Chain A
Amino acid sequence: MKSNIRAMKFKTRAITPIRIGAAAAVMGLVAVAAAGGSASIAATTKAKRVTITVASLVPGASAAATKQFNNQVLEFDRANPGIQVLPVTYDWTGPTFAAELAAGTLPTMFTVPFTDGRSLGEAGQLANLTKYAKSYSWFKQFNPAVIAEGIDAKGQVIAIPEAAYAQALQYNRQLFSEAGLNPNKPPTTWAQVAADAQAISAKTGEAGFSVMGANDNTAGWILTTLSYAFGGRVETGIGAKATATFDNPGTVDALNFIHTLRWTDNAMGSNFGLSWGTSNAAFAAGQIGMFVSGSDVYTNMVQADNLNPSIYGLAPLPTENANAGILGGGTLAAVKPTATPAQIAAAMKWINFYYMQPLVNKAQAIRNAKSLIADDQPVGVPAMPVFNLKTFNEANKWIKSLINTPQSQFAPFNDGIFKDKLVPEPESATQAIYGDLDSVVEQVLTNANANIPGLLQAANSVGQSSIAEGNQPS
């Protein structure tokens, strides 16, 4: 859903000396041309300078992260004197995105989760990037399942996948040790997760296991993840023909698992309204033994929550039955539909420079990693491939010597995840489906006598209406 969207935003509004220099140079050209008596040449020269606004860091990102982003902009400006890049802070959340979309105040280039790309594109809310995207050599290397997230029903490229994540088990190594558990051996079955959670809760007094329970689609996102891991699916089919299938054995098992940990084992602590950011903060503060979130949240915890890297551990979610899968999602880079062709071309150049080159070009990958290291930003955080596995492994090799993150602590995840079946998020009315599941999770967390099948049946009919509403002909 929103995992890595938040992890990679940058911010600055610096008018750098270089940019001022570039502006002066353009003005100089204009003056010379005008002196030559050709106003039309002057106008043409001036028009060549294209200004685009790009999504940068989340508001409130650290000074070091901001500086690192500024340096990227500087470098892009040097290589592209005809383009002026103005970074704006950006934090994708459902409500703010909807408001900015309606008000037309999104930056020229912004990011959206995999869940929203195609729907936005088909509603004419994203620029058509087809001819620009296909001119880059990396376009052919995309993992077909991943690039499908950025292609609408007409076959137009409306967004570029720039990062992918898999849901994972985040665990606190320090709490594992304090509870007498081996931090190098995270649980591999759900029964072990429950047993470890009880041990952590009993020995340390902190929440052994936590799930997001906020009414902002995150609770539904995590329930969908757990449902997949227990072998369930919350939706089948695509578009208007999709069917909500909330009431399935996998989802029931997942909710029973939560219910037992909450009410019988009392191993989930005392805060049941956590969301994406507050879960990260509580984990970094040592209040959570284990929780489920994207494989890439380490970066955000370092940037925003002052995480002590030594406590961090990452493992794949247990998948025990044949149908069990790992929910995967990601982030798309997209362009405003009102952008001019010159702006779209410029935005694509920025997407290529900032997001794509570090994944496909050795020199750029190394330069990018060095730039991150210089500002104490993490390099080598677990991610999922947006291109094929060969390109992904190669890119990881280029930066191996520059990695500054505790790889041995990510090892359980990195060693296990590629053996798992990755399952994309529900295709139709995704965020609305998550919203409909929120209250089921909240009920289970706050009502000891919650009737799980009854709740799922009731939510299912609401979910079916959400699918119908989300696919109204426009």
Chain B
Amino acid sequence: MTPKLEEMGPALTTEAAGGPSGVRLRRTPLTWVQQGGIGRLVFLLPLLLVFGAFSWYPIVRLVLMSFQYTNLVQPPTWVGLANFSAVIHDPLFPIAVRNTAEFAGLALVFGYPIPLIAAVLISEVRSRRGLYSALAYLPVVIPPVVSVLLWKTFYDAAPNGVFNTILGWVGIGPQPWIQSQSAALPSLVLESTWANAGSTVIIYLAALTGVNRELYEAASVDGAGLWKKVWHVTLPQIRTVLLVTMILQIIGTAQVFLEPYLFTLGGPANSTLTVMLLIYDYAFGNSLGGDYGKAAALSLMLVAFLAVFSLIYLRVTRSWSNQ
């Protein structure tokens, strides 16, 4: 049974009737202009144009492309879900996913605690704190490509390579580093941790200044040492920041591209092939024209995975953040 108009509520009836009411005024183009709508639009326009041209349009285009076969030279053809199917059946796909997960995992195990430890130590020192912060941040200032090329020489597998010389001093033989299928990925994580830790250190240092000093004093009175103070005061106080940096790091490492591209091109024997590098290979690996449909499909799959993962992460950690 269809409800009568009057039964649907006063707001709707007054709006629909257009009559005077204290609830809502009917908006017309004239009232919009009178209320300064044009001014707002003018201020918004540059933003809308920039985002439209460089973000939203490419996003829409990417979604469309994931359902097309196109090399951007000949007209595209619609292929339904064939691109997604081709990606999933590509023997390189599971390798890329596994490598990316391994990179993210190793970065989490080794790369995540290091900035925290560094920040806590820096915040504890009494003098030259600025100098230590600057030193921790320095690798971030070096252009990433320069860092990688620098580390490539450090990783020289010859016995007289930089790292191998250092290992030689303590009686360890030369290591193959990025020339070995098993050592290449951890070597990339090592460089990536060095290069990226600085930004996180600065975030933690800022968060640490927000921790009430009285809590530390109270803990000291209760006989807590440094470790107990960190565990019972520092970490709980900055947990919101910790949770945010963790999800940012996971999202960042799931999209790792620069290191495998510049160090190894995904080698040796695909041992450092990541999802982003596979996307790149689909798009640009063939000089006769890329398979942009497959590249778009895999990009979309990565976005979907990260979006779902982030939602679950936020849901799971919500209660911890709010404690």
| A-to-B contact residues, CB < 8 Å | 92-99, 101-103, 112, 116, 119-120, 123-125, 213-216, 269-273, 431-432, 435, 438-439, 442-443, 445-447, 462, 470, 474
Shortest Cβ gap from A94 to chain B (Å)? 4
Q: How far is the CA of A216 from the CA of B286 in the complex (A)?
A: 10
Decide: A125 near B178, CB < 8 A? Known: A101-B289, A442-B268.
no
Look across to chain B and name the residue whose beta carbon is closest to the beta carbon of A432.
Answer: B286
Within 8 Å of chain A (Cβ to Cβ): is B245?
A: no
CB contact list, B249-294 vs A, under 8 A: 264-270, 280, 283-290, 292
- Contact A439–B270 (Cβ < 8 Å): yes
Q: How far is the CA of A87 from the CA of B285 in the complex (A)?
A: 27
Decide: A123 near B73, CB < 8 A? Known: A95-B285, A442-B267.
yes
* 29 sample A-B contacts, Cβ–Cβ < 8 Å, listed by A number: A95-B280, A95-B285, A96-B284, A99-B284, A101-B289, A102-B292, A123-B73, A123-B288, A124-B74, A213-B267, A214-B267, A215-B264, A215-B270, A216-B265, A270-B156, A270-B161, A271-B156, A273-B264, A431-B287, A435-B285, A439-B269, A442-B270, A443-B269, A446-B176, A446-B179, A446-B180, A446-B181, A446-B268, A470-B288
Which chain A residues border B287 with CB–CB below 8 Å?
92-95, 97-98, 112, 116, 431
Which of A214, A269, A273 counts the most B-chain CB atoms under 10 A from its CB?
A273
Within 8 Å of chain A (Cβ to Cβ): is B72?
A: yes
- Contact B74–A94 (Cβ < 8 Å): no
Contact of B72 among A102, A120, A271 (CB under 8 A): A102
Look across to chain A and name the residue whose beta carbon is closest to the beta carbon of B280.
Answer: A95
Which chain B residues border A443 with CB–CB below 8 Å?
268-269
Which chain B residues border A93 with CB–CB below 8 Å?
287
Shortest Cβ gap from A110 to chain B (Å)? 12
- Contact B265–A272 (Cβ < 8 Å): no
Contact of B179 among A92, A96, A270 (CB under 8 A): A270
Decide: A102 near B269, CB < 8 A? Known: A97-B287, A273-B179.
no
CB contact list, B142-168 vs A, under 8 A: 156-159, 161
- Contact B267–A462 (Cβ < 8 Å): no
Known contacts A98-B290, A435-B285, A439-B267; 16 further A-B pairs (Cβ under 8 A): A95-B284, A102-B71, A119-B288, A123-B73, A124-B73, A213-B268, A216-B265, A270-B161, A273-B264, A273-B268, A442-B270, A445-B179, A446-B181, A447-B181, A470-B286, A470-B288
| B-to-A contact residues, CB < 8 Å | 71-74, 91, 156-159, 161, 174, 176, 178-181, 264-270, 280, 283-290, 292
- Contact B179–A125 (Cβ < 8 Å): no
- Contact A215–B288 (Cβ < 8 Å): no
Q: How far is the CA of A116 from the CA of B288 in the complex (A)?
A: 7
Which chain A residues border B286 with CB–CB below 8 Å?
94, 98, 431-432, 470
Which chain A residues border B178 with CB–CB below 8 Å?
273
Look across to chain A and name the residue whose beta carbon is closest to the beta carbon of B183.
Answer: A446
Q: How far is the CA of A214 from the CA of B270 in the complex (A)?
A: 11
Interface SS majority for chain A: helix
Which chain B residues border A123 with CB–CB below 8 Å?
73-74, 288-289
Which of B74, B285, B290 counts the most A-chain CB atoms under 10 A from its CB?
B285
Which chain A residues border B284 with CB–CB below 8 Å?
94-96, 98-99
Q: How far is the CA of A435 from the CA of B74 in the complex (A)?
A: 24
Q: How far is the CA of A68 from the CA of B292 in the complex (A)?
A: 39
Which of B156, B161, B266, B280 counts the most A-chain CB atoms under 10 A from its CB?
B266
Q: How far is the CA of A270 from the CA of B179 in the complex (A)?
A: 8
- Contact A102–B289 (Cβ < 8 Å): yes
- Contact A438–B73 (Cβ < 8 Å): no
- Contact B158–A269 (Cβ < 8 Å): yes
Q: How far is the CA of A442 from the CA of B180 in the complex (A)?
A: 10
Shortest Cβ gap from A439 to chain B (Å)? 5
Shortest Cβ gap from B311 to chain A (Å)? 34
Which of B265, B266, B269, B283 counts the most A-chain CB atoms under 10 A from its CB?
B269
- Contact A273–B289 (Cβ < 8 Å): no
Shortest Cβ gap from B111 to chain A (Å)? 24
Shortest Cβ gap from B163 to chain A (Å)? 12
Q: How far is the CA of A449 from the CA of B151 in the complex (A)?
A: 28
Which of A93, A94, A98, A124 counts the most B-chain CB atoms under 10 A from its CB?
A98
Shortest Cβ gap from B57 to chain A (Å)? 16
Which of B72, B268, B280, B283 counts the most A-chain CB atoms under 10 A from its CB?
B268
- Contact B179–A272 (Cβ < 8 Å): yes
Q: How far is the CA of A447 from the CA of B271 in the complex (A)?
A: 12
Shortest Cβ gap from B199 to chain A (Å)? 29
Q: How far is the CA of A216 from the CA of B277 in the complex (A)?
A: 12
Look across to chain A and name the residue whose beta carbon is closest to the beta carbon of B273.
Answer: A215
Q: How far is the CA of A212 from the CA of B196 in the complex (A)?
A: 31
- Contact A98–B289 (Cβ < 8 Å): yes
Which chain B residues border A272 with CB–CB below 8 Å?
157, 179, 268
Q: How far is the CA of A250 from the CA of B100 in the complex (A)?
A: 36
Which chain A residues border B290 with CB–CB below 8 Å?
98-99, 102
Q: How far is the CA of A76 from the CA of B280 in the complex (A)?
A: 40
Shortest Cβ gap from A277 to chain B (Å)? 13
Shortest Cβ gap from A464 to chain B (Å)? 13
Q: How far is the CA of A287 from the CA of B157 in the complex (A)?
A: 13
Decide: A214 near B288, CB < 8 A? Known: A123-B74, A271-B157, A271-B158.
no
Q: How far is the CA of A402 from the CA of B41 in the complex (A)?
A: 71
Which chain A residues border B159 with CB–CB below 8 Å?
270
Look across to chain A and name the residue whose beta carbon is closest to the beta carbon of B179.
Answer: A272
Which chain A residues border B174 with CB–CB below 8 Å?
270
- Contact A442–B269 (Cβ < 8 Å): yes
Shortest Cβ gap from B202 to chain A (Å)? 34
Which chain A residues border B268 with CB–CB below 8 Å?
213, 215, 272-273, 442-443, 445-446
Which chain A residues border B270 with CB–CB below 8 Å?
215, 439, 442
- Contact B265–A215 (Cβ < 8 Å): yes
Shortest Cβ gap from A286 to chain B (Å)? 13
- Contact A431–B267 (Cβ < 8 Å): no
